[in-house]
Chains A and B, each alone.
Chain A
Amino acid sequence: MSRVKTKLDETALAFATISELSAALRNRDISAVELTKFFGRRLEKIGPQYNALAYSLVKQAHAAAKDADFDFKHQRFRGPLQGIPYGAKDLLAVAKHPTTWGAKPFAHQVFDYDAHVIERLRHEQAILIGKLAMIELAGGGGYSSASASLQGPCLNPWNRLYWAGGSSSGSGAAVAAGLVPFALGSETSGSILTPASYCGVSGLRPTYGLVSRHGAMALSWTLDKIGVLARSAEDCGLVLHAIAGGDEDDPGSAHKSFYYTPQYARNLRDLRIGYAEIDFDAWADEPMRPALQNALGIVKSMGAQMKETKLPAFPYGPVISVIIDSEAASVFEALIRSGDIDQLADLSQIQGLKASLRYSAVDYLKAMRIRSLMQDAFAELFEDVDLLIAPTRFSLPERADIPFDETPAKRPEERGVGGGLIEASNLCGLPGLTIPCGFVNGLPIGLQIVGPPFSENTILAFGREFQNRTDFHKQHPPVPA
């Protein structure tokens, strides 16, 4: 580590972006082996303090790091992820190592193949150093506390009294705490955007079908997406470039590629941004409003055309509940009927999955038909605006040590864009990005940007510009070395 200490400050290294680390690797300021040891040590030492680490792969990573160094030495450059350590949510299969889906009934599950995204990142010579904690079964059935995980409640690096969010909990906490430069997560309805927002990192949920889910646990076939949590919108774009693309092994694949092209981003002045003032005021919990209004002010200063708008009115909550619960009940039918479901940590989740067997085919088809109308409505909305923005969450993170407060939050009857946007954008398969946009009581808050299908480059350009004007994404919690 002598070269690391002389060339790069260790804290700066822990919280460096992919571009910065890639430059250091290419310049031979640091080797991939050194970088892997550095992050591996942090992940193994600090990760358990947040219940963020599911399984360390640091030992196995050494050989891959050596291979990357060999290629660097011979000037065989594969791309910006070459030699960069990362973590993966424990719902992604990694051959010959445990893949627990965060759940006790699967604590000893081992696959003999890698998930497609793991293969893709290996091709780029990114270095997988650990599997990261998650809410059991990605939250299927509905859970009532942060303890719904094989590793226990994942703690927020900004304040350990609070939850890191879910279900990609460990991915959010590990990136926030500087334990990995980026992590893979998955989202069915909020599982990337929520932990990214709560932990103060950038999180990208790609368009449905853009990233293969082969080798990932299924919760809801028509809603599951694999995405990225990282330090910046730029980093999210670099990782998406590597993992996106068609895959015959994923029936939901859109068979489309993604090329991260910041150089061809649309001029912000040409963009029409749909938003609602009420989202940044009365819809948010009171303590969040000043920070959210400040963030909105920054957006307005960026020069885009701001258009007040509203989300199309649909019962997003009931529709997405019926779809997820019905599909999850089918996915986990054997687990439920065998009684092994009772091994889960969260009683609400156990009973929720059992009860989901009662949904009828008519219920499911009704929900899927309403979903068609939602897609039409959003297609129409995106004729008027290019992007939608709203607070990612209207509340601060829940406490990690007590059951969630089930009291309905008091929100205005009038709706803007943000209320239901996570459910709506997932139902319509739309890409979404969350970026840190402020702090409240020492906890980060996020701004979400949603666009039409396959508009990732536009979304990322917006996020990049916001981050060019702010430093929220550069701040990090006081994590012990």
Chain B
Amino acid sequence: MSSPWARLTRRKFAALAAAVPAAAQAGKKNRPGGDRSGAESTQGAATPAASAATADASLQKAYASVQKHSERLAQIDLAMDVEPAFVFRAAR
């Protein structure tokens, strides 16, 4: 609990999150659909017949996007009592 984020309140979190550049929060130009989609993803040819090199470059870009999101969330520390936004039920 030594982290400066450990006692993070919602208001403190909001203030810290506000420091993130707007463009970074909004992603790139918004891509509709499963909406954030292409915004943080890859751009490549539209057909699966694209060359192996293109496919590999596209995959590497997708991996980089995953890494970027992971690192972005890792910057945020949360108090222990902030539970995930879903609830386990003992009886279904």
Residues of A participating in the B interface, judged by any CB pair closer than 8 Å: 135, 137-145, 147-148, 165-167, 188-191, 194-195, 198, 219-220, 222, 251, 312-322, 324-325, 328, 342-352, 354-356, 358-360, 363, 365-373, 375-377, 393-395, 403-409, 411-415, 419-420, 422-423, 426
Contact of B25 among A145, A315, A375 (CB under 8 A): A315
Contact B24 A315 (CB under 8 A): yes
Contact B45 A317 (CB under 8 A): no
Question: Across the interface, which residues of A come within 8 angstroms of B10, CB to CB?
Answer: 373, 376-377
Contact of A350 among B13, B22, B48, B63 (CB under 8 A): B48
Question: Across the interface, which residues of A come within 8 angstroms of B34, CB to CB?
Answer: 135, 137-142, 167, 188-191, 219-220, 324, 328
Contact A406 B35 (CB under 8 A): no
Contact B36 A324 (CB under 8 A): yes
Residue B20 at the A interface, CB < 8 A? yes
Whether A312 touches B14, Cβ cut-off 8 Å, given contacts A352-B62, A419-B22, is yes
Question: Across the interface, which residues of B come within 8 angstroms of A366, CB to CB?
Answer: 73-74, 76, 78
Closest chain-A Cβ to B45's Cβ sits at a distance in Å of: 6
Contact B17 A313 (CB under 8 A): yes
A213 to B31, CA, bound (A): 24
Give the residue among A142, A349, A426 with the most B Cβ atoms within 10 A: A142
List 24 contacting pairs A-B, 8 Å CB cutoff, sorted by A.
A137-B34, A139-B34, A140-B34, A142-B34, A142-B37, A144-B42, A147-B46, A167-B34, A189-B35, A219-B34, A314-B25, A318-B27, A346-B46, A358-B66, A365-B84, A369-B85, A371-B84, A375-B85, A377-B10, A393-B30, A395-B29, A406-B43, A409-B29, A411-B22
Residues of B participating in the A interface, judged by any CB pair closer than 8 Å: 10, 13-15, 17-18, 20-48, 50, 54-55, 58-59, 61-63, 65-66, 68-70, 72-74, 76, 78, 82-86, 92
Question: Across the interface, which residues of A come within 8 angstroms of B58, CB to CB?
Answer: 347-348, 350-351
A189 to B18, CA, bound (A): 22
Contact of A141 among B26, B41, B70 (CB under 8 A): B41
A317 to B17, CA, bound (A): 12
Question: Across the interface, which residues of A come within 8 angstroms of B31, CB to CB?
Answer: 142-143, 404
Question: Across the interface, which residues of B come within 8 angstroms of A373, CB to CB?
Answer: 10, 13, 78, 82
Starting from the known contacts A141-B41, A315-B20, A419-B22, 17 additional A-B residue pairs (CB-CB under 8 Å) come to A135-B33, A142-B42, A166-B32, A190-B32, A190-B35, A318-B68, A322-B70, A322-B73, A348-B44, A351-B58, A355-B59, A365-B84, A366-B76, A369-B78, A373-B10, A393-B32, A405-B29
Contact B76 A148 (CB under 8 A): no
Contact A403 B46 (CB under 8 A): yes
Whether A352 touches B41, Cβ cut-off 8 Å, given contacts A317-B25, A358-B63, is yes
* Nearest chain A residue, comparing its CB with the CB of B8: A373
A144 to B34, CA, bound (A): 12
Whether A143 touches B59, Cβ cut-off 8 Å, given contacts A312-B14, A369-B83, is no
